[in-house]
Amino acid sequence: MSDLRINGKVIPYPDDGSEPGWGENASTWASEVSTVLDSISGLGTISETQVTLENNLIEANKKSVSGLVFNQNLTTSSTIYYRISRKSDISTEIAETGELVVFYDGSTWKMTREIKSGVVTGIYLDISSAGQVQYYSTNLPTTNPTTYVGFIKFKTDVNIK
């Protein structure tokens, strides 16, 4: 028998020509491998990420949401789950959660947005022809710009090619 490690466990696994009685070890190994494979995200899937969002950014100066980019050679559609939060020294937190759906139609990227809860935060999202999600924002009043805090947290489900 050889010791194999999977998912933090060491499992004795039969070598070629091992005597009978190793079925339980082989079954344990197969079960652990299945668990690990089920947990692996699809190609191009994005794990939960948080990115800072600027205040009062005009549409002409849109910025990229770092890490929220799609390559049509890896995926042609995806659902993005997100949460946006904004606050300053003179405003209470405003937040929203929702879903973005991006789709590559063979020549360009398209995106829809559905706010599931919260309030409209004044962050506008778009997707470029290169698959990069971008944003611009309204002005959230503040007496000191350094007190502004804005971010988006996002992750994707398995992306589909």
Q: Look at residue 120 in the predicted model and tell me its pLDDT.
A: 96
Kindly state whether residues 57 and 91 are assigned to the same domain.
Answer: yes
Nearest C-alpha neighbor of 52 from the set 85, 25, 19: 85
Q: Look at residue 37 in the predicted model and tell me its pLDDT.
A: 53
**Residues of the domain holding 16:** 2-39
Whether the Cβ atoms of residue 157 and residue 46 lie closer than 8 Å to each other? no
57 against 31, higher pLDDT: 57
Q: Is the pLDDT of residue 160 over 80?
A: no
Residue 144: CATH number of its domain: 2.60.40
Kindly state whether residues 136 and 85 are assigned to the same domain.
Answer: yes
Kindly state whether residues 29 and 102 are assigned to the same domain.
Answer: no
Residue 161 domain flag: no
Q: Look at residue 56 in the predicted model and tell me its pLDDT.
A: 97
Q: Look at residue 143 in the predicted model and tell me its pLDDT.
A: 93
Kindly state whether residues 65 and 144 are assigned to the same domain.
Answer: yes
> Structure pTM?
0.74
72 φ/ψ angles, rounded to the nearest 5 degrees: -65, -15
Residue 44 domain flag: no
Number of domains in the chain: 2
Q: What is the pLDDT of residues 44-74, one digit of tens each?
A: 688 899 999 999 999 999 999 999 999 998 8
Kindly state whether residues 72 and 130 are assigned to the same domain.
Answer: yes
The whole-angstrom separation of Cα 103 and Cα 110 is: 5
Q: What is the pLDDT of residues 87-119, one digit of tens each?
A: 999 999 999 999 999 999 999 999 999 999 999
Kindly state whether residues 19 and 98 are assigned to the same domain.
Answer: no
Give the number of other Cβ atoms within 10 Å of residue 125's Cβ.
19
Residue 129 domain flag: yes
Kindly state whether residues 77 and 18 are assigned to the same domain.
Answer: no
Kindly state whether residues 24 and 67 are assigned to the same domain.
Answer: no
Q: Look at residue 50 in the predicted model and tell me its pLDDT.
A: 98
Token pair in block for residue 16? 């070629």
Using CA of residue 42, residue 43, residue 48, residue 54, what is the dihedral sign? negative
Q: Look at residue 10 in the predicted model and tell me its pLDDT.
A: 82
The whole-angstrom separation of Cα 93 and Cα 87 is: 4
